[in-house]
Structure 1
Amino acid sequence: MKTLSTRLFVSFMALIGVILAVLGIVMGQLFPIYVGDYVERSTAAEERALVQTIEELGLDVTDEEQRQLIAATKVMEQEDLITSAKKRYLATMIFCSFIALAIIGIVMNRAVRVFAEPIDNATRTALELAKGNYRARAFENGMGKTMQLSKSINILARNLQDMTTMREIEDERLKTLIENMGSSLMMIGREGTISIVNRVFLKRFNCDYEAIRGKGFRNIQLPNDIVQVVEHVFLTETAIRKQIAVQIGHEIRHNEIYGAPVVGDHGRWLGVVLVIHDVTELMRLEQIRKDFVANVSHELRTPITSIKGFSETLLDGAYKDEAMLLSFLEIIYKESDRIQMLVQELLELSKIEQHGFSVDIIETSLQDIILNAADLTGARLEEKNMEFSVDMPKDIAILGDPNRLMQIFTNLIANAINYSPENTTVTIRLYEEDGYGVVEVEDEGIGIEPAEIPRIFERFYRVDRARSRNSGGTGLGLAIVKHLIEAHDGKIKVDSEVGKGTKMTVHIPKP
């Protein structure tokens, strides 16, 4: 496209051509007059000079001869005069043309600089803005309206750049929000093709973005329940919330799906947005809560029922029998003591599970901890005619809370005694391994089924419920033990064989 400067140049060249043409025509018309006058004046002057020369020389020339001589001289000189006149006329024309060109050039240069260049620059800037280059600016070097035009274009450019920057910031924020949200998100256009998915969605459903972008939602092998939710929103144009179970690989995950239509500011239908929350962990925690309430209720119901039953029996007259009275009171005392132990361990477990729970870590002797724990369980050991086998080549210093460590190992040794038959041995070993002090507590008891080993640290879980109650256990001991070991940055391992016994291996960090 021709610029204004080019168009002005062409216009001025045409103007120059017209001026020169007019000038040529005018001077062409004036040329004969100019030449005739010039020749006449020159001839008259020459004639007078010739007459004067004849008179000065005293030549005897008749009038007729004089006229012939003058005529001959006039004819000879006219050609020279005409040639001279042409040269003068041409020089004058060239001079005038150069003057005209100089004036026109000056005027044209001024006009281009003042009017054409600012407008051309503004035009180029506007074209750059139209292409999306909002950093382009026009030179504000014109005058009058051209200056105002340049300033207006620059203001427009700055506004467009600010708007673009704000839009980019908003887009970046939205993208960051979508990519970092914990739930899966998928946007489906009005044609049913996928336009937006976030990383959580791609990871959860094992998809590749490039492979599904632009494809129909029915063609990417989504679970049937999700497809039905999308179809429902498309058909009814209403939001829907639904819980589904989705099998991904060998794992079943519980999801809450929320699908809603996406409508623009002017009511234009844009598509469907789908948000999928993974509620598997929430459902697991809810089930744990329900199990906990049920277990606590069950654990409390049994001793309370016993206390109530024996109390009613005594009130009905059994108290008159002294032997029966003492027997029933002993049972009531044991059951109330069991309730008290259950409440204490519930409070202890609640305290340990609280966020921010910590233990007082100091350097302590592992040998002293084990010996004290063995002393505390010695009475129960003697009741069952059992014995300890202790293998402690040397003392081992560890980092831990002595009171909490006593609680851990007393519980483990007590469990080994309670779940072992009479006349057996509980073996305790101490050694060092990879920066840990290691304690093994091994019994010759009933053992644990392999499928039940992962669950023995759950609250109220018992391998043998009847035997646990008879031993006075609450089902919370190992749950407390596990939390306390983790608070020490330690670990516990269980090895068991049904009918042969169980070995608990505890690792506590060394200094």
Structure 2
Amino acid sequence: MKYYYTKILTVSAVILSILLIVLGIILGQFFHLFGKNVDATIQQTYWVYLLFTLVLVFVVMMFVMTKILQQYVQPFDHFTGVVHQLARGNYLVRAHNEDSKINHQLTNSINQVAQKLQGNSALRAMEQERLNTLVSSIGSSLLMFGRQGAVNLVNRVFEETFQRNGEELMGKTFKDIGLPSDIEKEIETIFLTEEVRTFQSQVVLTEGVCHLDVYGAPVIGENGNWLGIVIIMHDITELVHLEQIRKDFVANVSHELKTPVTSIKGFSEMLLDGAVEDPVIRRDFLEIMYKESNRLQLLIEDLLRLSSMERGSFEITRKPVDVMEVVEQSIKIVQKKVQEKEMRIDLHMPEQLIILADHDRLVQVMVNLLNNAIAYSQEKTIVTVSVEEIDEYVEISVRDQGIGIMPSELPRLFERFYRVDRARSRESGGTGLGLAIVKHIAEAHHGTVTVDSEVGVGTVFRIQLPTHEQL
């Protein structure tokens, strides 16, 4: 940049030219002072020497002026350019070190300023990157609104949860970004009261209902200036679901324990009061009490077993097991129930298939599945058990011709105490924990359990277990 240097040099050339022209005019009038009849040749020679001298003086003076300006003015043009670059945000630019002591001090001062600005810029960039990383890494949706209610910060979780584009939301007010009405009202309340607010909200999204725990607070600057508000929305859908499961579990356990205890207590009181004299009726009462006590014992054992599985404190002892022998032993255990309902169990399996598994646990799985199939099937129907090897897994399927299960009930089928038909399950002596136990045992073997069902046609449970132990 040569703004000052060029301008001063141009002005100096103009002034010098004017002075030399005036000087030439004055010197040209000397002939009239010494005489009027001066030879024309002498006058012409005089004018040539005068013109040459003036031109020479102009050149010499401009050369001297140029050197002076280069020494004292041109560095200021350089410094001005550096300052302009710093003002535009180019903190990498530096001033050149000149020979002059004054210029050297000025150069060092400008470079020190540039270095500090560069350091501050790098620090701000690093802090901004940290802030962006922190905001993006927060597992909750985050919104920040300015003093006028316009969005000025959105994180990635909010964009993913609400299917919004953060850049499109910038500058819009909280009433224009599609938030639920209750959240909008709370945000408006925070703007009016400038107080911290916490509340819960439900949002209907494409994947279902999302439960949110919302925290809103005003943002106060270092000088006490009110800058806006921040809204943090934490997804508590899973917590709400777990809380509902806990409540259902407590209610179901209370109900399942209350029913047999009430029966045992009622019949025992009648027997103790001597109200039943008939031996046959008394025996019926005792049989009911015995049956209910067995049911209570089964429930407690299943609860303890399931609790042990969920804590991970039970162990799977893997040994070579013949799947055919497991199936046949399980069928013998439920054979009495099969005969009572005049049902038949068909087998489709090879003569022998060895896998590494826990024999007793597999028998427990098969008994639970067979009892389930028998309980929900009509009399004189068929239960089909199939075993086949698929790649590195063995698949065991139990298919019944029962009442079937609604598609809406399938996701909850493996929850504790969940029953498709409570009356039928209770009549069969089930505790409602069988399928939950089946799932835990299958997963402990690094396997899976799935179910397909059609109402009025039947249900099929499939268990896939690895043929070799997989860690």
TM > 0.5 fold call: yes
- Partner in structure 2 of residue 53 of structure 1: none
Aligned-pair CA distance for 1:381:
4.4
Aligned-pair CA distance for 1:402:
4.2
Question: CA, structure 1 residues 444+217, in 2 after alignment: closer, same or farther (shift >3 Å)?
Answer: closer
1:292-326 Cα offsets, whole Å, 9 max, x none, are 11112222233444455566667667999999998
Moved more, 455-464 or 11-20: 11-20
- Partner in structure 1 of residue 252 of structure 2: 295
Within a 5 Å distance, the mapping from 1:24-39 to structure 2 comes to none
Indicate conservation of the 8 Å contact 1:370/1:406, yes or no. Answer: yes
User: Which one has a bigger Cα radius of gyration?
Assistant: 1
CA distance in 1 between partners of 2:39 and 2:345 (Å): 154
Indicate conservation of the 8 Å contact 2:404/2:453, yes or no. Answer: no
**1:263 and 2:220 aligned:** yes
Aligned-pair CA distance for 1:127:
0.7
Indicate conservation of the 8 Å contact 2:451/2:461, yes or no. Answer: yes
| Residue type of the alignment partner of 1:9 | L
CA distance in 1 between partners of 2:93 and 2:317 (Å): 67
Within a 5 Å distance, the mapping from 1:336-485 to structure 2 comes to 337-354=294-311, 365-378=322-335, 381=338, 387-396=344-353, 400-420=357-377, 425-433=382-390, 436-445=393-402, 447-448=404-405, 451-485=408-442
- Partner in structure 1 of residue 448 of structure 2: 490
- Partner in structure 2 of residue 60 of structure 1: none
Indicate conservation of the 8 Å contact 1:496/1:503, yes or no. Answer: no
- Partner in structure 1 of residue 5 of structure 2: 5
Aligned-pair CA distance for 1:290:
0.7
**1:183 and 2:140 aligned:** yes
Indicate conservation of the 8 Å contact 1:138/1:154, yes or no. Answer: yes
Aligned-pair CA distance for 1:99:
7.3
* Secondary structure at the counterpart of residue 171 of structure 2: coil
* Secondary structure at the counterpart of residue 217 of structure 1: coil
CA distance in 1 between partners of 2:22 and 2:384 (Å): 129
| Residue type of the alignment partner of 1:489 | G
What CA RMSD, in Å, does the superposition of the two structures yield over aligned residues?
A: 4.3
- Partner in structure 1 of residue 154 of structure 2: 197
* Secondary structure at the counterpart of residue 93 of structure 2: coil
The unaligned stretches of length 5 or more in structure 1 are 37-74
| Residue type of the alignment partner of 2:367 | T
TM-score by length of 1: 0.74
1:30-54 Cα offsets, whole Å, 9 max, x none, are 8899x99xxxxxxxxxxxxxxxxxx
| Residue type of the alignment partner of 1:10 | T
- Partner in structure 1 of residue 210 of structure 2: 253
1:159-181 Cα offsets, whole Å, 9 max, x none, are 22222222222222323333343
Question: CA, structure 1 residues 281+357, in 2 after alignment: closer, same or farther (shift >3 Å)?
Answer: farther
Moved more, 355-364 or 216-225: 355-364
Aligned-pair CA distance for 1:124:
0.1
**1:237 and 2:181 aligned:** no
The unaligned stretches of length 5 or more in structure 2 are none
CA distance in 2 between partners of 1:323 and 1:438 (Å): 49
Indicate conservation of the 8 Å contact 2:159/2:166, yes or no. Answer: yes
CA distance in 2 between partners of 1:121 and 1:459 (Å): 81
| Residue type of the alignment partner of 2:6 | T
- Partner in structure 2 of residue 51 of structure 1: none
Question: CA, structure 1 residues 293+21, in 2 after alignment: closer, same or farther (shift >3 Å)?
Answer: same
| Residue type of the alignment partner of 1:136 | V
| Residue type of the alignment partner of 1:407 | Q
- Percent identity over the alignment is 43
CA distance in 2 between partners of 1:237 and 1:497 (Å): 57
Aligned-pair CA distance for 1:481:
1.1
- Partner in structure 2 of residue 157 of structure 1: 114
Indicate conservation of the 8 Å contact 1:188/1:194, yes or no. Answer: yes
| Residue type of the alignment partner of 2:309 | I
CA distance in 2 between partners of 1:361 and 1:160 (Å): 68
Question: CA, structure 1 residues 16+491, in 2 after alignment: closer, same or farther (shift >3 Å)?
Answer: same
Moved more, 461-470 or 419-428: 419-428
Alignment length (residue pairs): 466
1:268-313 Cα offsets, whole Å, 9 max, x none, are 3333333333332221111111111111222223344445556666
Moved more, 327-336 or 395-404: 327-336
